[in-house]
């Protein structure tokens, strides 16, 4: 066989092996969904996500809860609610002044000052109440329940939607690395052993 053909075939076989290996490895993250036992029950296999999706749901929920529990997040929620309440109060006061006709035009500066003062008192109180309400929601528990409701299939779909391109990159990388290894093997065969 021609040396160039040996190197080319070796690289192609390596690429095919690397690609198929990584495709199978990615598939094994999610499959088999149910436990499959081989060798008369001595060897049982199940995909990583289906076998541990309850733990994955618990850990993701814990991470979400931990993130949300940080003071920075609570501060942003508080600030956002406070800003929204302040805007609503000031907008409502301006709307009332406009609807009041001539009297509203005369009283507008005083009404706007009253609205700003009211907003400065009410908005922080409403924002603090909103933060307390959100803290009581137990977001982590809700996230965990939702992930458990989705089941392994839903978690797979979500994960593939999130990291589909990266999983595809892993598969293609297997082909590239396999081709490189095959190329090296072919060159060694041709130049060292040939």
pLDDT per residue as tens digits for the range 10-36: 999 999 999 999 999 999 999 998 888
More confident call, 31 vs 138: 31
Cα dist from 89 to 14, 79, 107, 154, whole Å: 69, 15, 17, 43
- Would you place residue 108 in the very low, low, confident or very high pLDDT band (cuts 50, 70, 90)? low
Coil vs helix vs strand at 37 = strand
Count of other CB atoms within 10 angstroms of residue 27: 13
Q: The whole model's pTM is what?
A: 0.64
What pLDDT is recorded for position 106? 62
- Please tell me the distance from the alpha carbon of residue 166 to that of residue 159, in angstroms, as a whole number: 11
More confident call, 124 vs 16: 16
């Amino acid at each position: 066989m021609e040396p160039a053909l040996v190197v080319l075939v070796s690289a192609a076989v390596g690429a095919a092996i690397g690609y198929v290996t990584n495709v199978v490895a990615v598939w094994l993250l999610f499959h088999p969904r149910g436990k499959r036992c081989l060798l008369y029950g001595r060897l049982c296999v199940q995909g990583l996500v289906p076998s541990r999706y309850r733990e994955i749901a618990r850990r993701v929920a814990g991470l979400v809860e931990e993130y949300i529990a940080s003071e920075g997040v609570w501060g942003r929620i508080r600030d956002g609610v406070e800003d929204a309440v302040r805007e609503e109060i000031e907008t409502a006061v301006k709307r009332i002044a406009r609807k009041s006709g001539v009297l509203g035009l005369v009283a507008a500066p005083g009404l706007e000052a009253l609205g700003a003062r009211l907003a400065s008192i009410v908005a922080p109180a409403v924002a603090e109440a909103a933060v307390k309400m959100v803290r009581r929601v137990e977001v982590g528990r809700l996230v965990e329940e939702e992930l458990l409701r989705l089941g392994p299939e839903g978690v797979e779909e979500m994960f593939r939607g999130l990291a589909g391109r990266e999983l595809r990159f892993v598969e293609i990388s297997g082909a590239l690395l396999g081709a490189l290894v095959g190329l090296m093997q072919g060159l060694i065969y041709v130049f060292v052993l040939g």
